[in-house]
Amino acid sequence: MPEPLYEPDTAISAGGAGGATDFAVDEGETLEKRPDGGPQGAGPGKPRSLWSDAWRDLRRNPVFIVSGLVIAFLVVISLWPSLIASGNPLQCDLARAQEGSQPGHPFGFDGQGCDVYTRTVYGARTSVTVGVCATLGVALLGSVLGGLAGFFGGGWDALLSRITDVFFGIPVVLGGLVFLSVVTSTTVWPVIGFIVLLGWPQIARIARGSVITAKQNDYVQAARALGASNARMLLRHVTPNAVAPVIVVATIALGTYISLEATLSYLGVGLKPPTVSWGIDLSAASPYVRNAPHMLLWPAGALAVTVLAFIMLGDAVRDALDPKLR
Amino acid sequence: MAEPARQTEAILEVRGLHKHYPLTQGIVFKKQVGAVRAVDGVDLDLAAGETLGIVGESGCGKSTLARLLVHLERPTAGVIRYKGEDITKLSGRALKAVRRNIQMVFQDPYTSLNPRMTVGDIIGEPYEIHPEVAPKGDRRQKVQDLLDVVGLNPEYINRYPHQFSGGQRQRIGIARGLALQPEIIVADEPVSALDVSVQAQVVNLLDKLQNEFGLSYVFIAHDLSIVRHISDRVGVMYLGRIVEIGKDAEIYDHPTHPYTQALLSAVPVPDPTAREHRERILLTGDVPSPANIPSGCRFRTRCWKARQRCAQEVPLLAVPAVFRDDRSPAAHDSACHFAEEKHVVPLEPGPVT
Amino acid sequence: MTAAPASFEPSPALLEVRDLHVEFRTRDGVARAVNGVTYSVAEGETLAVLGESGSGKSVTAQAVMGILDMPPGRITGGEILFQGRDLLKLKEDERREVRGREMAMIFQDALSSLNPVLSVGEQLGEMFVVHRGMSRKDARNKAVELMDRVRIPAARERVGQYPHQFSGGMRQRIMIAMALALEPALIIADEPTTALDVTVQAQVMDLLAELQRELAMGLILITHDLGVVADVADRIAVMYAGRIVETAPVHDIYKAPAHPYTKGLLESIPRLDQKGQELYAIKGLPPNLLHIPPGCAFHPRCPLGRDMCRTDEPPLYDVPDGRGSACHFWQEAHHG
């Protein structure tokens, strides 16, 4: 549609019904003052922000509902894994190594005789922790640096652009092999730190671009003409109109960070036992893939579903926030 | 400038205003290779309570001029005096105080309102920035009053901009401009994005507000008919400079600059009978780039009167010598060496019988 | 207005649009963009379709050209007869054949209508290679010829340049050259000069009018500008809310409009030759296409509106001298 859809303005003006009224300008103005639509127009005429519009769209989108449910489930089992898995992921019995599915142990046992089901459930916690923390770190660092560079421009902006270029040149896996192989900690923090270090330039670029686009809008100029401070322009006018792309990219990135953690752990430089991680389990299962494929399939499936859920969520959010569809 | 006697004192005086944007080459070591001379020596006066129209084609620098007047850009050279005080060098508190008195209405009603803010927040923002204007408790009432003044329902206060049509949004933009009770409003193409039937509503509103609040307008537009309708005086801009300026009748009925004449003759007139008896001055070629302005008279490359002198000598904006002792309306400022009067606007009877 | 086939007309209708209906599906419901449009253009005639945004003037033209986005658009009724054939019944490849060869369109925004990575010569020549099977070299010569024809200076030197190297006016000339390339019988120009400056606008409009006369093409000029219409049109059709509300020869409509909307539009534009007091303003807002008022769509804004207008949709009444007005009280508007 070429034009925005106007508010319904249907009822005839009182004077108009009686016959030919004269060409009065005031009529037009009073007509606009009348609350739209009268009694029947109560529904869609209510105040509606773009966010609430987006939310209304999301609620109707099956992709969002499915991915949202998957993610909600993942979050719940990472917080309380014992809800659905009563065992201990570290309690293993070598005697049962590689055994298949059996009552009480639906996913069977891995090479160390640990319960695959329990480990898969507990692995979600690691993945979600890494994904969420890394994304928060990346989004915070990237959007602050990128946003400020975009808003103020000048030398710092040029410097930041060059730095992001350098970071984009670093191959992620190779960087991980080099950086993480010197780390001895068995916690998730080095991996999160590494992802933040390599991930922020991506968000910084998006944030910079979207801040530059937003700051060119006339409403920012209008605020400046009113005498608004930089802080006000940035916080009130630019940021709310620039966050959408950052949210979308960050959501999609969350999925990729989870798979990056799995990749690094698989290669032996990411997380290390006794931490329970899908990547570690995949790595441990790969030699036995012919004899006991279940050891590989369950954690791999969980990983795939999780990553897919976040990417789908990002897509759904993008569709809902895309101003071109509005 | 030797202006004819002015009834009221100028509230805004602009002298020798320039805005050049450097053209650079290289990424790390930037080297200036030239400049886009968007505004290139503008002089004008705005009297209290009057409307000064500025017309010109795209790229003539009229929008840059608007942004300079409201201090969204700093000029490369020249002064803008508001009540005698040069405001171009101001910053901080002093600038903020001046901003209260000079406000702007923007062209595009779709990008000039923040889509994430309600109408109440948009119109109320001036009070947050200048809290001394209205105490907190009064603000909501003030915003509703403003909505009423611009012809919108005060109950719309909690709505978002995307729920309004273009004309209504422009009214919201005008209300925001009025909030601080400024003396001067610079309007940059305020109706050109609107439908014909809505344009008239907004033009009438601007007229009404001027009478009600004693505003002075700088009204910038490319539509010559609307500019004539609303303006007391009109300046014609070409390539960063004003080439002719005078009272509306002087410019429209007695233009002496060839560019003004060409511009006026090209405007389509809503009267099919004018087709036959109208003289059209069709200019050849395009407007030169503001990065490469012709020497001498900047209009000479498209002018049918251009001679040797035009390439060498810059014509000044003053009453041309031929009209100097004249009392006729042709005696107004016109930057042309060979200024002469020419009637180009057909005097039509109009549809009213 | 569209008379029976065997009518006394100097030249037969080149294009006849009959009772066309177009809808768009949107998130918020069905927008009825075109609601029964009927018009015709004869060879060598210029029909101006005048309307504001959302009046359906461009959508109608897109339906005629067969470039309507479907979905979300949908043609729900009517006929489009071009040289006697109903275009809506043609297959897509037959339609494509008609488009470009027999009818062409000029858009408002020449920059986005031209491919930025191909030189203008290649884009102009493409038409001859595809439709006429010419060699690249001949096509290039044809391109230079066309550029000369639309008076682009130094055509031979500039034929290898890219769209961004031309000014707005020159780009619009290239668009005109492309439209004329295969000498179509009908040209549809959708706001061809709206994006241009007045001095350039005059040049381009003159050129278009001259070429149209020379080639005796039918021209549908879609615009919102009453001044442009007065300059070039033979006949005018005024659209509002997806319907034609008034149609008349151009001289008559300016002298005495027969529909209150046309009348309001004419009175609301400021004039170049006089400084008005207050402009007449049509009250209210253009209608929401999702909720077009019942009866006469213009009634909420109409100074003549009465009870009848709220319920009965006015047909296009015959007005003397081959005119039509979709107003129950056209006589009042016409004479009052």
pLDDT above 50 for A92: yes
Please state whether A144 falls in left (phi above 0), alpha (psi between -120 and 50) or beta: alpha
- Cα nearest neighbour of B207 on chain C: C278
Contact A225 B71 (CB under 8 A): yes
Instruction: Tell me what the mean pLDDT of segment A193-202 comes to.
Output: 91
C27–B contact, CB cutoff 8 A: no
Contacts of B107 in chain A (CB under 8 A): 218
**Least confident span in A97-101, A286-290, C152-156:** A97-101
Q: What is the pLDDT of residues A104-151, one digit of tens each?
A: 777 888 777 888 888 888 888 888 899 999 999 999 999 999 999 999
- Cα nearest neighbour of C279 on chain B: B200
Nearest to A219 among B71, B99, B112 (CB): B112
Question: What part of A 46-65 touches B (C-beta under 8 Å)?
Answer: 47-51
Q: Answer with the residue of higher pLDDT: C122 or C26.
A: C122
Q: How confident is the model at residue A44 (pLDDT cuts 50, 70, 90)?
A: very low
pLDDT above 60 for B127: yes
> DSSP per residue over B201-250, as a string?
HHHHHHHHHHHHHT-EEEEEES-HHHHHHH-SEEEEEETTEEEEEEEHHH
C308 in helix, strand or coil? helix
pLDDT above 60 for A9: no
pLDDT for res C276: 66
Contact A25 C26 (CB under 8 A): no
Cα A69 to Cα B19: distance, rounded to the nearest angstrom: 57
Per the prediction, chain C carries an average pLDDT of: 85
Consecutive H or E run containing C187: strand C186-190
- Please say whether the beta carbons of C29 and C18 come within 8 A: no
pLDDT above 50 for A16: no
C-alpha gyration radius of chain B: 21
Cα B59 to Cα B237: distance, rounded to the nearest angstrom: 10
Cα B208 to Cα B189: distance, rounded to the nearest angstrom: 18
C273–B contact, CB cutoff 8 A: yes
CB count within 10 Å of CB B19 equals 23
Of the CA atoms within 13 Å of residue B336, those in its CB half-sphere come to: 29
pLDDT above 70 for A49: yes
pLDDT for res A46: 56
pLDDT above 60 for A34: no
Q: Is residue A13 part of a domain?
A: no
Across A152-166, B72-86, B269-283, the highest mean pLDDT is recorded for B72-86
pLDDT above 70 for B74: yes
> DSSP per residue over B4-62, as a string?
PP-SS-EEEEEEEEEEEEEEEE-SSS-EEEEEEEEEEEEEEEEETT-EEEEE--TTSSH
Q: Is residue A70 part of a domain?
A: yes
> DSSP per residue over C157-171, as a string?
HHTT--GGGS-HHHH
Q: Tokens in use for C164?
A: 């961004």
Chain A / chain C CB contacts < 8 angstroms: 88
A23–C contact, CB cutoff 8 A: yes
pLDDT for res B185: 95
Which residues, at least 6 apart from C128, have a Cβ–Cβ distance to it below 8 Å?
C134, C138, C139, C142, C143, C181
* Residue C54 to chain B, least CA–CA distance (Å): 10
- Please say whether the beta carbons of B245 and B44 come within 8 A: yes
pLDDT for res B120: 92
Mutate to test the interface with A, among B162, B184, B185, B203 (most CBs of A within 10 A): B162
Instruction: Tell me what the mean pLDDT of segment C221-241 comes to.
Output: 90
- Cα nearest neighbour of A37 on chain C: C291
A260 in helix, strand or coil? helix
- CA of residue A250 relative to chain centroid, distance: 4
Of the CA atoms within 13 Å of residue A308, those in its CB half-sphere come to: 10
Contact A16 C288 (CB under 8 A): no
| Chain A touching partners, 3 or more CB pairs below 8 A | B, C
pLDDT for res B65: 94
In this structure, what DSSP letter does residue A105 have?
Answer: B
* Dihedral (Cα; A229, A232, A235, A241), 10-degree rounding: -100
Question: What part of A 32-91 touches C (C-beta under 8 Å)?
Answer: 32, 44, 57
Q: Is residue A11 part of a domain?
A: no
Tally of domains within chain A: 1
Sheet bearing B77-82, strands edge to edge: B31-47, B10-25, B77-82, B85-86
| Chain C touching partners, 3 or more CB pairs below 8 A | A, B
Nearest to C302 among A7, A16, A29 (CB): A16
Structural domain harbouring A179:
64-325
Q: Answer with the residue of higher pLDDT: A243 or B348.
A: A243
**What proportion of chain B, given as a percentage, has pLDDT over 70?**
94
* Dihedral (Cα; B29, B30, B31, B33), 10-degree rounding: 150
Contact C58 A2 (CB under 8 A): yes
pLDDT above 60 for B353: no
Cα A313 to Cα A60: distance, rounded to the nearest angstrom: 13
> DSSP per residue over C14-36, as a string?
EEEEEEEEEEEEETTEEEEEEEE
Q: What is the pLDDT of residues B7-54, one digit of tens each?
A: 557 899 999 999 999 888 776 667 778 888 999 999 999 999 999 999
Contact A20 C31 (CB under 8 A): no
Q: Is residue A41 part of a domain?
A: no
pLDDT above 50 for C189: yes
Q: Tokens in use for C208?
A: 């278009």
Instruction: Tell me what the mean pLDDT of segment B104-109 comes to.
Output: 90
pLDDT above 60 for A12: no
| Chain B touching partners, 3 or more CB pairs below 8 A | A, C
- Please say whether the beta carbons of C114 and C175 come within 8 A: yes
pLDDT for res A326: 41
- The distance between the two most distant Cα atoms of chain C, rounded to a whole number of Å, is 67
Q: Answer with the residue of higher pLDDT: A273 or A46.
A: A273
Choose among A197, A196, A92, A213: nearest CA to A134.
A196
What are the φ and ψ backbone dihedral angles of A186, each rounded to 5 degrees?
Answer: -100, 5
pLDDT above 60 for C271: yes
Chain B / chain C CB contacts < 8 angstroms: 142
Mutate to test the interface with B, among A49, A224, A226 (most CBs of B within 10 A): A226
Nearest to C53 among B195, B228, B273 (CB): B195
Choose among B320, B321, B300: nearest CA to B310.
B300
Contacts of C28 in chain A (CB under 8 A): 5, 44
Contacts of C303 in chain A (CB under 8 A): 16, 20-23
**What proportion of chain C, given as a percentage, has pLDDT over 90?**
18
B113–A contact, CB cutoff 8 A: yes
- Please say whether the beta carbons of C187 and C220 come within 8 A: yes
Q: Is residue A35 part of a domain?
A: no
Q: Is residue A30 part of a domain?
A: no
B177 in helix, strand or coil? helix
Which residues, at least 6 apart from B346, have a Cβ–Cβ distance to it below 8 Å?
B269, B271, B274, B277, B278, C273
Nearest to C271 among B168, B225, B230 (CB): B225
Residue type, A250: A
pLDDT for res B350: 44
- Cα nearest neighbour of C329 on chain A: A20
Q: Is residue A31 part of a domain?
A: no
In this structure, what DSSP letter does residue C314 have?
Answer: P
Cα C251 to Cα C254: distance, rounded to the nearest angstrom: 6
Choose among B85, B84, B67, B56: nearest CA to B19.
B67
Instruction: Tell me what the mean pLDDT of segment B129-133 comes to.
Output: 90
Cα C223 to Cα C218: distance, rounded to the nearest angstrom: 16
Cα C169 to Cα C178: distance, rounded to the nearest angstrom: 14
Contacts of B279 in chain C (CB under 8 A): none
Task: Tell me how many degrees the CA angle C164-C167-C173 measures, rounded to the nearest 5.
Answer: 100
Q: Answer with the residue of higher pLDDT: A302 or A22.
A: A302
What are the φ and ψ backbone dihedral angles of C43, each rounded to 5 degrees?
Answer: -55, 135
Q: How confident is the model at residue A257 (pLDDT cuts 50, 70, 90)?
A: very high
Q: Answer with the residue of higher pLDDT: A29 or B75.
A: B75
Contact C254 B272 (CB under 8 A): yes
Q: How confident is the model at residue B347 (pLDDT cuts 50, 70, 90)?
A: low
Mutate to test the interface with A, among C23, C268, C283 (most CBs of A within 10 A): C283
pLDDT for res A18: 30
* CATH code, domain carrying A249: 1.10.3720.10
Choose among C277, C278, C281, C247: nearest CA to C264.
C281
Q: Sign of the CA dihedral A262, A266, A268, A273?
A: positive
Q: How confident is the model at residue A309 (pLDDT cuts 50, 70, 90)?
A: very high
Mutate to test the interface with C, among B171, B194, B196 (most CBs of C within 10 A): B196
B77 in helix, strand or coil? strand
Q: Is residue A186 part of a domain?
A: yes
Per the prediction, chain A carries an average pLDDT of: 79
pLDDT for res C113: 81
C44–B contact, CB cutoff 8 A: no
C197–B contact, CB cutoff 8 A: yes
Q: What is the pLDDT of residues B193-247, one digit of tens each?
A: 888 888 888 999 999 999 999 999 999 998 898 999 999 999 999 999 999 999 9
- Cα nearest neighbour of B110 on chain A: A218
Cα C246 to Cα C225: distance, rounded to the nearest angstrom: 16
Report the interhelical angle of A294-321 vs A239-266 (nearest 10°): 170
